[in-house]
Amino acid sequence: MKGFVVITGGTKGIGKALVHRFAKAGYAVITCARNEKDLINLKATIEDNYKSEMYFKVADLSLKSEVQSFSEYVSELTDNVTVLINNTGVFIPGSITDEEEGNLELMMNTNLFSAYYLTRSLIPNMIKNKKGHIFSMSSIAGITAYASGGSYSITKYAMQGFTKCLREELKDKGIKVTAVLPGATLTASWEGVDLPEERFMKSEDVAEAVWSAFQMSDRTVVEEIVLRPQLGDI
């Protein structure tokens, strides 16, 4: 085993592709999701196909108490996390002027606060070990405003600020920080959209970009990864 990688929201879409990519490379993966059956099935698939172990905890990271519970679970397994990928997120389309009440709070809790609290809990050991790589899974919506982005776009702009601050705080401590900003990727968020699969990026391509950034020497960090479908934004 090469080390431990923490990936939140690992059972679907980009998170699932990331779990596969790091497990394939020999890393033990620690992940979480709300659905226990999905986690059990993913663990079986990972351990059947790769010489890697997968650990999981059922958790709803929109709740601070469950973020704390998951971070405690990680700490019980290891004090030496090699990579943290804050991937958990929820996308509810809508405009600020007419979206449902509570959308902002739900997406802030899920998309931003979960990453904030989990990162804060794991950073002390990374600093002590003088190594680690933190990836924030943001979105094109964090750098490009659009009419139906609403609260989702607000949370992703905030995620960019969080990640930039982390980069400045940790650059002299041996810890790398990378923002990942994918455009339209074929995940559950786009279910029901009347567009061909070819119009979207593959989750595996996003995971491969993360893996490539992780492979840089200690002297180099990729600060941002921006990915878009070949034909542009949707």
Residues assigned a catalytic role: 152
Query: What are the structural domains, with CATH classification, of the chain?
Result: 4-227 (3.40.50.720)
Mean pLDDT for the chain overall: 95
Note the pLDDT of residue 1: 76
Q: Is the pLDDT of residue 186 over 90?
A: no
The tokens of 159 are what? 């995620």
In the structure, what pLDDT confidence band is assigned to residue 189 with cuts at 50, 70 and 90? Answer: low
Other beta carbons within 10 angstroms of residue 219's beta carbon come to 5
Closest CA to 108 of 83, 87, 89: 89
In the structure, what pLDDT confidence band is assigned to residue 196 with cuts at 50, 70 and 90? Answer: confident
Question: In the chain, which ranges are continuous DSSP H helix?
Answer: 13-24, 36-49, 64-77, 103-107, 114-129, 150-170, 203-214
Note the pLDDT of residue 111: 97
Least confident of 97-106, 120-129, 139-148: 139-148
Note the pLDDT of residue 24: 97
Using a pLDDT cut of 90, give the percent of the chain over it: 87
Q: Are 23 and 16 in contact (CB under 8 A)?
A: no
Average of per-residue pLDDT across 153-171? 97
Give the tens place of pLDDT for each residue, 51-106: 899 999 999 999 999 999 999 999 999 999 999 999 999 998 899 999 999 999 99
* Alpha-carbon radius of gyration of the chain: 17
Give the tens place of pLDDT for each residue, 211-228: 999 999 999 999 999 999
Q: pLDDT: is 220 or 191 the higher one?
A: 220
Q: Is the pLDDT of residue 192 over 70?
A: no
